[in-house]
Amino acid sequence: MMNKDEQFMALAINSASKGRYHTWTNPMVGAVVVKDGKVLATGYHHKYGDVHAERDAISKLTPEQLFNSTLYVTLEPCNHTGKQPPCSDLIIASKIKRVVISEIDPHGLVTGKGIKKLRSHNISVTTGVLTQEAKTLNKHYNFFYEHKMPYICLKQALSLDHKCSYPGKRLQITGKAAYEQVHRERADYQAIMIGSSTALIDNPTLLTSVKQDHPPIRIVLDRRGRLLNKNLALLSDNHAPTWLFTQNTKLTKFPYPPHIKVFLLHSGSLREVLQMLTQNNVQSIYVEGGPTLMKTFIEEKLAQELITYFSPTFLGNNALDGFEITENINLIKPDYQVLDKDIRISGRIDYV
């Protein structure tokens, strides 16, 4: 059974999840104010640039209600000024007696500083309550600041004979339910990545069905510059930022629409691409590229998660194989989901 701290923190975690799809580069955070064993207010970070969860909850109460109360918050309160003022100062000014924190913020601007500030003002601070549950909310954010690189998820769709498409042809293997799941899935990531072959053959829009202020950036790896002068949807629709990574200087001089940004590569390696994306604060990438791109991510041990949609069909010998895994890998705690006729298998990658 949960103790009282865990019960109130579970409520804060549930509140935090309401910000899903909308906090962009900010984490999802929830807060609950409790006094005399009763919940007085809940709050969460609604969207990027908006007030933080602590301020959202505190703003609903009077000074008398806040005095000597306990604040439960899923992530360490900030102690710096960004788009919002420091939450630590607000907590101190509100005369809150105790703060219970689930996760210490891995962002270097915050780590430990909020806790130190609160304790320096004689506020009791408890940490480590439902930490793993809180970390699950922001696994991309946490990974980015802990490892200084984006969280990479590979997504593939395969037939039962491990085929992915026919040469030079667009092919949708899975059914409507899986198609809709992928469109929602994309919204959890800050970028969607494909290679130039996928862009040319499939001409995808790489959009999501979830309405967002900051739709995922569409990333195309086009080292040779094959997309130059091509009439593709993602190059002309202006529906989401589109970033091209190339070694062809002609792309840097081409008069693309404003939603397109071109990055010139030197080595052309995948690690160089990820380094540039890290520098541009891209915390998570959903890779929908072809077998070659997928294989490179695995071989260089750069991917953290693999999602495979299996369709109960056989495409035959004329079809292209899915990416060949030559590495010994396992999926940690795989999740299985049935979507009409298709099966979705996902899990964190363990490079044995």
To the question of whether residue 274 is assigned a binding role by annotation, the answer is no
Residue 30: other Cβ atoms inside 10 A: 30
To the question of whether residue 206 is assigned a binding role by annotation, the answer is yes
DSSP E strand boundaries for 200-289:
217-221, 242-246, 260-264, 284-287
> How many residues are listed for the chain in this entry?
352
To the question of whether residue 186 is assigned a binding role by annotation, the answer is yes
The angle subtended at Cα 130 by Cα 329 and Cα 123, nearest 5°, is 135
To the question of whether residue 350 is assigned a binding role by annotation, the answer is no
Q: How is residue 40 written in tokens?
A: 């007085």
To the question of whether residue 288 is assigned a binding role by annotation, the answer is yes
To the question of whether residue 188 is assigned a binding role by annotation, the answer is no
Q: What gap in Å lies between CA 266 and CA 249, rounded to an integer?
A: 11
The angle subtended at Cα 128 by Cα 122 and Cα 129, nearest 5°, is 100
Residues whose CB is less than 8 angstroms from the CB of residue 211 and which lie 6 or more positions away in sequence, other chains included? none
| DSSP 8-class letter at 207 | -
Cβ distance 305 to 185 under 8 Å?
A: no
Cβ distance 183 to 314 under 8 Å?
A: no
Active site residues: 54
Q: How is residue 177 written in tokens?
A: 């339910």
Based on C-alpha coordinates, what's the Rg of the chain? 23
Extract the annotated binding site: 52, 78, 87, 157, 186, 198, 202, 206, 288
Annotated binding-site ranges for Zn(2+): 52, 78, 87
User: Which residues participate in the annotated binding site for substrate?
Assistant: 186, 206, 288
| Binding site, annotated residues for NADP(+) | 157, 198, 202
